[in-house]
Amino acid sequence: MRINLSINDRPICSIAVWADRYPQIASGLETVLPITTVAQHGKIVGDLLYLSVPIVLPLENPMPLQEICRERRRQTGSVAGAVCFYGPRQQICIYYGDDVADEPFELSWIGEVDVGLSALQLAAMDCWVRPGELASLEVG
């Protein structure tokens, strides 16, 4: 499954969601997309852009954030591009850099940004200084 992210009507990136590994989350997202939400920057947790979505789902194949970071760095050299779902807060979390807080909670690592990581990094920095921008998510 593919999700396209736009911010302020500007295409930013494309996310490959691993529907084979996370079928409940992928199916749930398909039922609610397209949506418009507010792009938020994780001010105290590092290089994180997150988007609240109107879906309540349990974590699927959860992993501790520290383990996701270790595995992503082993695979690609950086956490940048990892995409997770945090069920308790109904958020899609997109890590755009390698500065990630060492928080002891579990997420579902549902996919990766496979197109547009540089544009995402710039948009996330804009979100840091100008919070409240509108983000659109749609199946692509």
- Domains parsed from the chain with CATH numbers: 2-139 (2.40.100.20)
Region 80-88 average pLDDT: 95
pTM of the model: 0.95
Cα-Cα-Cα-Cα dihedral sign, residues 51, 55, 59, 60: negative
Residues contacting 51, CB < 8 A, separation 6+ = 5, 37, 38, 39, 40, 91, 92, 94, 135, 137
Q: What is the mean pLDDT of the chain?
A: 94
Cα(69)–Cα(114) distance, integer angstroms: 17
Region 59-64 average pLDDT: 95
Region 71-93 average pLDDT: 95
Q: SS3 string of the chain?
A: CEEEEEECCEEEEEEEECCCCCHHHHHHHHHHCCEEEEEEECCCCEEEEEEECCCCCCCCCCEEHHHHHHHHHHHHCCCCCEEEEEHHHCEEEEEEEEEECCCCCEEEEEEEEEECHHHHHHHHHHHHHCCCCEEEEEEC
Q: For 91-136, how does the pLDDT look when each residue is reduced to its tens digit (9 = 90+)?
A: 999 999 988 877 778 999 999 999 999 999 999 999 989 888 999 9
pLDDT confidence tier of residue 23, bands split at 50, 70 and 90: very high
Region 10-26 average pLDDT: 98
